A and B are shown apart, each in its own frame.
Chain A
Amino acid sequence: MNFYGLVDGTEASLKKYLGALSGVDQVGADARAAMLATRSIKTTSKRWAIDTAITMVDLTTLEGADTPGKVKALCTKAVRPDPTDLTVPSVGAVCVYNDMVSIARTHLDLIGGQHVGVAAVSTAFPSGRASMAVKIQDTQDAIDAGASEIDMVIDRGAFLQGRYIEVFDEIVKIREICGTKAHLKVIFETGELVTYDNVRKASFLAMAAGAHFIKTSTGKVAPAATAPVVLVMLEAVRDFYSMTNVRIGVKPAGGIRNTKDAIKQLVLVNETAGPEWLTPSLFRIGASALLNDLLMQRMKMDDGYYASPQYVTID
């Protein structure tokens, strides 16, 4: 691994690389995100945004109470979100716990959902508190079961203590296991990283270590994917692209519950990273309740009157 020539894998080179990052103007980031949130998207643009957002959804169920039946129902919904309207596109992927991966993959293949990926949360999700051996086994299990995307969590404790090289090595190892079989998304849990400077630092660390995607949160900690945090991460992938010519994806997750929020995210992407990122291979939204609201807004645009939650499936 050459890490894009940015670091050589030693602690000294990593410290130098992260130390050279500029700080984030917190007030400026908040103001810019708030300003972009005021954009009004209407008619044909809104319709396009809704369909694009649907294709970007990582339909997620990460509950202790998940059952094979629930996961299968979720997969069915992922392939055909609105059974009464075949023009609604499939979502990007379903996101489940490790033990549900094979159930999800088998069911998706069975119902013609080969194009929908299965993302597995890995490395002792959501806390990341386990030995490296367990984390490696966790990831290997998911890939063996058919996961095409691995959502790993970083060790926030190590990161906040400044033990960056440990976090870096962990990502490198998991990326090696993923190989060519699975895409790697690295979850920062930005609600625990506290500052935007840390978010920027974690973004550059994960990108250099080989992440395909950087992801805000597990969905288990609030605040999750706030607009300024996503803005900071989008700026990081933009800057990384100018350094390396490689486009890294971004996945906000947690707290994006309605169409308005989702469209705000798309505006952020377009205005920060650029329109090249407005594709499911470079931008995903981790959500569960969001999909129903997108469908209801779509019905409203088609029918001309407000829709009812009684006409979309219960998750």
Chain B
Amino acid sequence: MSNRIDVKKTYKLFINGAFPRTESGRTYEVKSSKGSFIANPCLASRKDLKDAVVAARAAQAGWNKATAYNKGQILYRIAEMLEGRRAQFVDEIMVVTGVTKTKADKEVTDSVDRLVWYAGWSDKISSLSGALNPVAGPYYNFTIPESMGVIAAIAPETPSLLGLIDVIAPIIVGGNTVVVLASTKAPLSAMSFAEVLATSDVPAGVVNILTGKKDEIAPWMASHMDIDGLDISGLAVKSHADIRTAGAENLKRIYSFKSADPGRILAFLENKTVWHPIGL
């Protein structure tokens, strides 16, 4: 019996709920930790970023309007879908990073747990960070956190899956939409994660994932007038100053994080104050 030929997977981008190739037609090589060829993912261009921002902007109003309960459900659904495809993610992490099966398995477990954890924050964040303010008059005065809009993010190189989830989940749980640049060296799990998102009832355009070079895309993210905030956790510290300067022109909120905590959610929320008469 003849050997079956491998069915190789084409790694493409994830924009507006679809999987297009980069408009530039460029690709780059991803190699295993031992140096052997693995895949040719897309090398995204600034125009792919532009298209992704248009999709994210169009999706933002609808996603923001979804109830906290619904957003939490959808994040939990992502965790469910990821759990179901655990084996594939373990394989991809092992082959690219060269870690042991135990370590890869732990990263996937942590990723699923992290998603469930962020899902839980959905209907709690406004109670914890919002307030009923005392005012001198017959009014209730509420402070309510609201989404900022379209947020761009740069995922850390490693851990490629858990790091990606740590930038995406806190941004979207607050009602923002996101355009994220995945790990350059290990983009396989990011693009497989896009397939998980596509089957998790996440509305098209809420999460958009690009693969490519950070130094090429990050400045365009910082200067883009239609991106409201930027998470540069995955960008080398030496580039932070330049990116912050480029983002200052358009008053973009730029943050970098080291761990998973509710501050990541609050960073991309804005407080709105509402007055309401008492006794009516």
Using CB atoms and an 8 Å cutoff, list the residues of chain A in contact with chain B: 304-311
Contact = CB atoms under 8 A, between A and B. Distances in A.
Residue of B53, B220, B225, B226 with most partner-chain A CB within 10 A: B225
B226 A308 contact: yes
A306 B57 contact: no
Contact of B223 (A305, A309, A310, A311): A305
B240 interface: no
Contact of A304 (B53, B223, B250): B223
Contacts of A310: 225-226
Contacts of A309: 57, 226
B251 to A, nearest CB: 12
Interface bin, chain B: 10 to 19
A305 B226 CA distance: 10
A309 B225 CA distance: 9
Interface in B228-277: 249-250
Given A304-B223, A308-B225, A310-B226, 10 more contacts: A305-B220, A305-B224, A305-B225, A305-B249, A306-B46, A306-B50, A306-B220, A306-B225, A307-B225, A308-B226
A54 B50 CA distance: 22
A159 B226 CA distance: 48
Contacts of A305: 220, 223-225, 249-250
A311 B249 CA distance: 14
Question: When A and B form their complex, which 7 residue pairs have the shortest distance between CB atoms, in order from nearest?
Answer: A305-B223, A308-B226, A308-B225, A306-B224, A307-B225, A306-B50, A306-B225
Interface string B24-38: 000000000000000
A122 to B, nearest CB: 35
Contacts of B57: 309
A50 B226 CA distance: 21
Residue of A308, A309, A311 with most partner-chain B CB within 10 A: A308
Residue of A305, A306, A309 with most partner-chain B CB within 10 A: A306
Nearest to B46: A306
Nearest to B249: A305
24 contacts: A304-B223, A305-B220, A305-B223, A305-B224, A305-B225, A305-B249, A305-B250, A306-B46, A306-B53, A306-B220, A306-B223, A306-B224, A306-B225, A306-B226, A307-B225, A307-B226, A308-B224, A308-B225, A308-B226, A309-B57, A309-B226, A310-B225, A310-B226, A311-B225
Contacts of A311: 225
Nearest to B221: A306
Nearest to B246: A305
Contacts of A308: 224-226
Nearest to A309: B226
A58 B225 CA distance: 28
A147 B123 CA distance: 57
A311 B226 CA distance: 9
A307 B225 CA distance: 5
A305 B223 CA distance: 6
